[in-house]
Amino acid sequence: MKRILALCATAAMALSAQTFTSLYSFTGLDDGDSPSAGLIQATDGNLYGASAGGAFGGGTVFAITPSGALTTIYSFCALSECADGEYPSGLIQATDGNLYGTTSAGGAFAGGTVFTMTLSGTLTTLYSFCALSDCADGQSPGAALVQGVSGNLYGTTTAGGANPGPDGTGGGTVFKITSGGTLTTLYSFCSGGAECRDGTAPSGLVQAANGDFYGAAHSFGAHFQGTIFSITPGGTLTTLHSFGSQSDDGSNPQGLVAAVGGELYGTTRLGGANSLGTVFSLTPSGTLTTLYSFCALSDCADGSKPQAALIQASDRNLYGTTYTGGVDDLDGTVFKITAGGTLTTLHHFDGKDGYMPDAPVVQDTNGSLYGTTQKGGPMGSGGYGTIFSLAIGLPPFVETQTTAGTVGAVVNILGSDLTGATSVTFNGTAAAFTVVSEYLITATVPTGATSGAVQVVTPTGTLSSNLPFRVL
């Protein structure tokens, strides 16, 4: 049964333990502008992200410390005709320690690229899209990659593929790529002819505990409002939900997060009871529940038009942003929502601290949230976007990279103050480990380990992993 819990919103109430900090304002010069790809925490303790603009106008990859010191480590379009790519999307750090990402344009065939990059900024282009006739291999990857349990990388393109869509460009693809650059197209959207009942323009993927990947297609589907799909690592796709099939279930889905309990959660940019977006939950079998419809409060004080996926933080609540709405100048919000649909607005942007947040927030292992706004900043900064932190009273934790592995596998454990650690356990079983730095421990999954929390004992206390580690 659909639950639209509009009356549970707390629109303007600030939490007592909450502190918002503007860390950096982009200038539109060599540091870039309009960061919209989101941030990740890497093994050196820094956060990494991507922006538009930069020294050559094709975008940047940057590193920023948790306290706000930013370094541009690469500017795209450094090569003739942007052969190194143009307009980078989100990043991940793979288990080999390198960054991996995509660009939505540029490359050898002007269809976008997949690249890898060291933390110091040495870039290698792994694949250039549109290498095949009519871009049958896909075109314009627009979301971050995900590293599967197999070690391979998986991603999507928003156009191209084997099936010409309504505009003749193809409905997009799901692909697999190795760290060496061998690409396999797993699925081409718009396989149902001109109606494109499987959707078009897929967003990023998440891998659930069952091994399958899940994602959202922004448009088309059986009711022309977008779809949610699952796809096996081998490429068998199942459409789980077509938006518009229920009254007020939303339209234009923006991405998913796989929660600890097995449910999937996501947002739609439009639709819902007030036509300005929703938060929904979805079972792995495809049962959708609308948890919240935005613009439930006067003048959309609770926000409107979320344009980014959610995250599940260490307290098991969900956190996200809205692109517009809120108080002041309707510049967007940061919000928390429980699995039951109770929404609390944590921050209202006012332009001076940024506006139009359109990327997911990330939780650092220090407990705080970090994020970006596409525009805005202090007077005199030019309004080219910001990076912010939001402390919400959550304690430090550790994070494994990745969240599954076999006995004997070496696992990276990220943290914020790991110096002097004396013990690492996998669900209570002691593991051999090495303290690499204050931000990184490497540990070997021990014989006898079972799935559960990873814990690290440090001089300041015991830190638990934000997600359970699955022993395969």
pLDDT string in tens for the chain (472-residue length): 333 333 344 433 344 469 999 999 999 999 999 998 899 999 999 999 999 999 999 999 999 999 999 999 999 999 999 999 999 999 999 999 999 999 999 999 999 999 999 999 999 999 999 999 999 999 999 899 999 988 999 999 999 999 987 777 889 999 999 999 999 999 999 986 678 999 999 999 999 989 999 999 999 999 999 999 999 999 999 999 999 988 889 999 999 999 998 999 999 999 999 999 999 999 999 999 999 999 999 999 999 999 999 999 999 999 999 999 998 778 999 999 999 999 999 999 999 999 999 999 999 999 999 999 999 998 766 789 999 999 999 999 999 998 999 999 999 999 999 999 999 999 999 999 999 999 999 999 999 999 999 999 999 999 999 999 999 8
Q: What pLDDT sits at residue 406? A: 94
Among 330, 360, 391, give the residue marking a domain's end. Answer: 391
In a domain, 4, yes or no: no
329 and 464, same domain (yes or no): no
Q: Are 237 and 88 part of one and the same domain?
A: yes
- Identify whether residues 320 and 412 lie together within a single domain: no
In-domain check, residue 11: no
Burial of 450 by CB count in 10 Å (0-12 exposed, 13-18 middle, 19+ buried)?
exposed
Q: Residue 458, class by beta-carbon neighbours within 10 Å (0-12 exposed, 13-18 middle, 19+ buried)?
A: buried
Cα–Cα distance for residue pair 5/279, rounded to 1 Å: 11
The candidate with the shortest Cα–Cα distance to 220, out of 246, 202, 240, 238, is: 202
Q: 72, exposed or middle or buried, with CB in 10 Å at 0-12, 13-18, 19+?
A: middle
Q: How far apart are CA 297 and CA 40, in angstroms?
A: 32
pLDDT of residue 195: 82
**Co-location of 457 and 327 in the same domain:** no
Claim to verify: residue 305 and residue 379 sit in the same structural domain: yes
User: Based on the number of CB atoms within 10 Å of its own CB, is 438 exposed (0-12), middle (13-18) or buried (19 or more)?
Assistant: middle
Give residue 17's pLDDT. Answer: 66
Residue at a domain's end among 391, 417, 440:
391
Q: Does 167 lie in the same domain as 244?
A: yes
| Parallel/antiparallel/unpaired status of strands 333-337 and 343-348 | antiparallel
Amino acid at 263: E
Determine, yes or no, domain membership for 1: no
| Domains contained in the chain, number | 2
Report CA 114 to chain centroid distance, whole Å. Answer: 17
CA distances to 48, 190, 320, 440 from 42, in Å:
7, 36, 21, 9
Torsion 360-364-369-375 (CA) sign: negative
Query: Does residue 8 lie in a domain region?
Result: no
The boundaries of the domain holding residue 424 are: 399-471
> How far apart are alpha carbons 322 and 182 in whole angstroms?
37
We report the CATH number of the domain holding residue 310 as 2.130.10.10
What one-character-per-residue DSSP string does 84-126 give?
A: T-EEEEEEEE-TTS-EEEEEEE-STTSS-EEEEE-TT--EEEE
> Can you tell me the distance from the alpha carbon of 47 to that of 458, in angstroms, rounded to the nearest whole number?
23
431 with 354, same domain: the answer is no
| One domain, residues 310 and 380 | yes
| pLDDT score for 169 | 80
Residue 420 backbone class (left: φ over 0; alpha: ψ -120 to 50; beta: rest): left
In angstroms, rounded to a whole number, what is the distance separating the alpha carbons of residues 270 and 279?
10
In a domain, 293, yes or no: yes
* CA atoms of 393 and 387, how far apart (whole Å): 19
Q: What are the structure tokens assigned to 196, written together?
A: 């494109």
DSSP label at residue 299:
G
Would residue 266 count as lying in a domain? yes
What's the pLDDT tens digit per position in 189-204? 998 667 899 999 999 9
Q: What is the pLDDT of residue 380?
A: 61
DSSP assignment letter at 246: S
Q: What is the largest CA-CA distance in the chain?
A: 62
Residue 365: CA count within 13 A, CB half-sphere: 27
Answer yes or no: do 417 and 302 share one domain. Answer: no
Q: Which of 311, 351, 358 is nearest to 50 (CA)?
A: 358
DSSP string, 123-136: EEEEEES--SGGGT
Interacting residues of 384 by C-beta distance below 8 A, sequence separation 6+:
25, 26, 27, 28, 32, 33, 34, 53, 375, 377
Residue 34 and residue 53 in contact, taking contact as beta carbons nearer than 8 Å: yes
- Quick one: 271 and 418 in the same domain? no
| Claim to verify: residue 103 and residue 167 sit in the same structural domain | yes
Q: Find all residues with CB under 8 Å of 197, minimum gap 6, and list them.
A: 220, 221, 222, 239, 242
Question: Is residue 6, in this structure, part of any structural domain at all?
Answer: no
Give the predicted TM-score (pTM) of the model: 0.94
Cβ neighbours around 117 below 10 Å, total = 21
CB within 8 Å of 394: residues ≥ 6 apart: 313, 314, 315, 363, 367, 368
102 alpha carbon, distance to own chain's centre: 13
In a domain? residue 10: no
* Strand pairing report for 213-219 and 333-337: unpaired
Place of tokens 């934000």: 466
Residues 349 and 459 in one domain: no
Q: What is the CATH number of the domain that holds 427?
A: 2.60.40.10
- Antiparallel, parallel or unpaired: β 99-105 and 86-93: antiparallel
At residue 287, what is the residue type? T
Query: With helix as H, strand as E and coil as C, how does 29-70 read?
Result: CCCCECCCCCCEECCCCCEEEEEEECCCCECEEEEECCCCCE
Q: Which of 391, 423, 457 is the last residue of a domain?
A: 391
Do residues 78 and 85 make contact, with C-beta atoms less than 8 angstroms apart?
A: no
